[in-house]
């Protein structure tokens, strides 16, 4: 139980970069994860059992490829460019910490049970922290050294609203998965209420990527649920036939309604803009322009290294040089492009491989909420750097471990035969 709570705290509070430990070079999340690793290793040394699971094999292969790609990139970077070692060391420590966490989790003989219990604790801790941060944001409480707003965007305990938005984007599908796979009505109600709170906090961040993520994953999740609901067990009932006919009727209905939709285009457009940062105006345009600039620079850096990368750390040149940031490199703010500049094409392929396997594992286990969770990582990771966040790797581990179980209904089907 203590291990589960420690891990949940390290995963759920990793965005809280404003909560610093006085005099320490690490944050609360890193401390909790390090303590969890030490306890887990101590349990093994005391006679605890490890198991060579398929998930462990996948993680061992992935981190082995990443170590080779990043090491090769670091050699290339030291031979061809100026290296600022503080950033590479920070990244290497983060990758090492995450490699230990994922491999120890995957090697646990009771990984499924521990991951599920930890996931519940993650949602409990996230909810409690969100309620407290909302109280800070609306002036009901005060916490020294914490500014919960970046202009009109909610940051809570994080330094960046997009960082908080990432965790909201993954907490939502995680709470949905837990509420869908529990038979306890109280727990299910708690999970559903958690989703409402998480979406509310995510919207306060005014992250365009968060909005895009929940819209796309929500639609994909609904399509998966309808597909499984119509075809479950191969039984054709009157209710399912009626539902299928209604779905088929939506297509001609949508075509017939097109003239009315076009007539209200301005209203729909204004509504869509109201949901985005800066209401789709100058702020959104400036963000897009900046992203294109740094992405182009990152692509050039990667190609300049012969697609071998330049090692851990940021490598993009800043378009605006100030006294504070003179000559310092910048991150591309895109997981794929940042990995491309660090470990080259090999690191990018390794990430796509393990994320694809995680999604396929959740699909085969018929866990639609986990498919949405893996999809959320992919969508949010395209315009943001997410690979160093513990919630991302906890989610991938959950998908891989859940994929080792038999699909829902498989046991019942075997018994009926």
Q: Provide the pLDDT for residue 9.
A: 93
Q: Compute the Cα dihedral for 251, 256, 259, 261 and give only its sign.
A: negative
Range in 49-58, 124-133, 248-257, 269-278 the model is least confident about? 269-278
Structure tokens at 352: 């796509």
Average pLDDT over residues 243-270: 51
Q: Radius of gyration over alpha carbons of the chain, in Å?
A: 23
Inform me whether the pLDDT recorded for 254 exceeds 70. no
* Exposure string for 256-288, b = 16+ CB within 10 A, e = fewer: eeeeeeeeeeeeeeeeeeeebbbebeebbeebe
Mean pLDDT in residue range 221-247:
65
User: Does residue 304 fall inside a structural domain?
Assistant: yes
Find the helix or strand (DSSP H, E) in which 92 lies.
helix 86-106
The values of phi and psi at residue 150, to 5°, are -115, 95
- Are the C-beta atoms of 370 and 173 separated by less than 8 Å? yes
C-alpha atoms less than 13 angstroms from C-alpha of 36 in its C-beta half-sphere: 28
d(CA 296, CA 286): 16
How far, in Å, are 41, 108, 223, 351 from residue 112 at the CA level?
A: 19, 9, 27, 23
The C-alpha angle with vertex 216 and arms to 155 and 355, in degrees rounded to 5, equals: 85
* pLDDT in the model for residue 225: 81
User: Which one has a higher pLDDT value, 111 or 201?
Assistant: 201
Q: What's the rounded mean pLDDT across residues 253-259?
A: 53
pLDDT of 360 strictly over 50: yes
pLDDT band at 237 (very low <50, low <70, confident <90, very high): low
pLDDT per residue as tens digits for the range 88-97 = 788 888 999 9
pLDDT recorded at residue 242: 59
316 forms beta bridges with 330
Residue 263 lies in a domain: no
**According to the model, what pLDDT value does residue 151 have?**
87
In this prediction, residue 282 carries a pLDDT of 55
Give, in order, the Cα–Cα distances in Å from 220 to each of 101, 333, 401.
Answer: 30, 25, 22
With respect to residue 269, please indicate whether it lies within any of the assigned structural domains.
no
Sign, CA dihedral 188-190-193-195, equals negative
Asked if pLDDT for residue 71 goes beyond 50, the answer is yes
Token pair of 350, please?
């390794």
Rounded distance between C-alpha atoms, residue 249 and residue 254, angstroms = 9
Model confidence at 356: pLDDT above 70: yes
The pLDDT of residue 297 is 84
Comparing 40-49, 135-144, 166-175, 344-353, which segment has the lowest mean pLDDT?
40-49
What's the token pair of residue 328?
Answer: 């310092």
Mean pLDDT value of segment 124-135: 96
The predicted model gives 168-177 an average pLDDT of 95
Average pLDDT, the chain: 82
Percent of the chain having pLDDT more than 90? 45
Number of helices and strands in the chain (H, E): 16, 2
Q: Are 299 and 340 in contact (CB under 8 A)?
A: yes
Domain count across the chain: 1
For residue 1, the model assigns a pLDDT of 77
Rounded to 5 degrees, φ, ψ at 154 are -75, 130
* Inside any domain, residue 259: no
**Environment class of 239 (CB within 10 Å of its CB; exposed 0-12, middle 13-18, buried 19+):** exposed
Q: Is 70 exceeded by the pLDDT of residue 212?
A: yes
Question: 277-321 pLDDT, tens per residue?
Answer: 555 555 555 666 667 778 888 888 888 888 898 888 887 776 544
Q: Per-residue pLDDT averaged across 125-151, rounded?
A: 92
pLDDT of amino acid 409: 42
> How many other CB atoms sit within 10 Å of the CB of residue 109?
12
- The predicted structure's pLDDT at residue 275: 45
Domain that holds residue 357: 2-236+276-416
Phi-psi region of 123 (alpha: psi -120 to 50; beta: other; left: phi over 0): alpha
pLDDT tens for 11-34 read 999 999 888 777 677 788 899 999
Residue 280: inside a domain, yes or no?
A: yes
As a whole number, mean pLDDT of residues 241-246 equals 57
What DSSP assignment string belongs to 335-396?
HHHHHHHHHHHHHHHHHHHHHHHHHHHHHHTT-HHHHHHHHHHHHHHTTS--TT-HHHHHHH
Q: Phi-psi bin for 206: left (phi > 0), alpha (psi -120 to 50), beta? A: left
CB 126 within 8 A of CB 167: yes
Mean pLDDT of the 120-135 span: 96
Tell me if 258 is assigned to some domain. no
Separation of alpha carbons 49 and 346, rounded Å = 33
On whether residue 298 sits in a domain, the answer given is yes
Whether residue 244 lies inside any domain: the answer is: no
The first and second tokens of residue 179, run together, are: 């509420």
What was the pLDDT predicted at 411?
A: 38
């Amino acid at each position: 139980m203590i291990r589960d709570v420690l891990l949940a705290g390290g995963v759920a509070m990793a965005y809280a970069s404003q909560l610093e430990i006085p005099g320490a070079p690490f944050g609360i999340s890193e401390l909790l994860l390090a303590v969890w690793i030490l306890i887990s290793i101590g349990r093994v040394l005391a006679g605890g059992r490890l198991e060579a699971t398929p998930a462990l094999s996948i993680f061992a292969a992935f981190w082995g490829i990443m170590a080779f790609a990043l090491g090769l990139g670091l050699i290339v970077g030291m031979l061809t460019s100026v290296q600022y070692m503080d950033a590479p060391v920070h990244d290497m420590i983060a990758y090492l910490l995450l490699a230990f966490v994922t491999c120890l989790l995957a090697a646990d003989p009771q990984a499924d049970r521990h991951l599920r219990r930890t996931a519940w604790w993650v949602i409990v801790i996230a909810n409690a922290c969100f309620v407290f941060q909302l109280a800070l944001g609306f002036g009901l409480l005060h916490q020294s050294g914490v500014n919960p707003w970046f202009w009109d965007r909610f940051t809570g305990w994080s330094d960046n609203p997009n960082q908080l938005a990432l965790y909201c984007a993954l907490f939502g599908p995680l709470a949905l998965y837990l509420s869908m796979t529990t038979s306890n009505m109280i727990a299910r109600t708690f999970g559903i209420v958690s989703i409402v709170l998480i979406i509310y906090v995510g919207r306060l961040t005014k992250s365009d990527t968060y909005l895009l993520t929940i819209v796309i994953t929500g639609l994909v999740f609904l399509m998966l649920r309808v597909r499984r609901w119509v075809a479950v067990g191969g039984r054709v009932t009157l209710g399912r036939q009626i539902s299928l006919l209604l779905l088929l009727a939506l297509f001609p209905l949508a075509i017939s309604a097109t003239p009315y939709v076009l007539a209200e285009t301005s209203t729909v457009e204004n509504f869509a803009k109201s949901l985005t940062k800066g209401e789709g105006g100058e702020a959104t345009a400036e963000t897009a322009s900046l992203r294109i600039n740094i992405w182009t620079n990152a692509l050039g850096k990667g190609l300049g290294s012969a697609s071998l990368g330049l090692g851990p750390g940021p490598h993009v040149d800043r378009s605006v040089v100030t006294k504070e940031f003179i000559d310092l490199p910048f991150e591309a703010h895109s997981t794929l492009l940042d990995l491309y500049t660090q470990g080259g094409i090999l690191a990018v392929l390794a990430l796509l491989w393990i994320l694809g396997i995680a999604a396929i594992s959740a699909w085969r286990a018929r866990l639609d909420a986990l498919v949405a969770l893996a999809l959320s990582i992919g969508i949010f990771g395209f315009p943001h750097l997410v690979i160093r966040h513990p919630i991302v790797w906890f989610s991938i581990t959950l998908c891989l471990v859940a994929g080792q179980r038999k699909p829902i209904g498989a046991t019942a089907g075997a018994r009926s035969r």
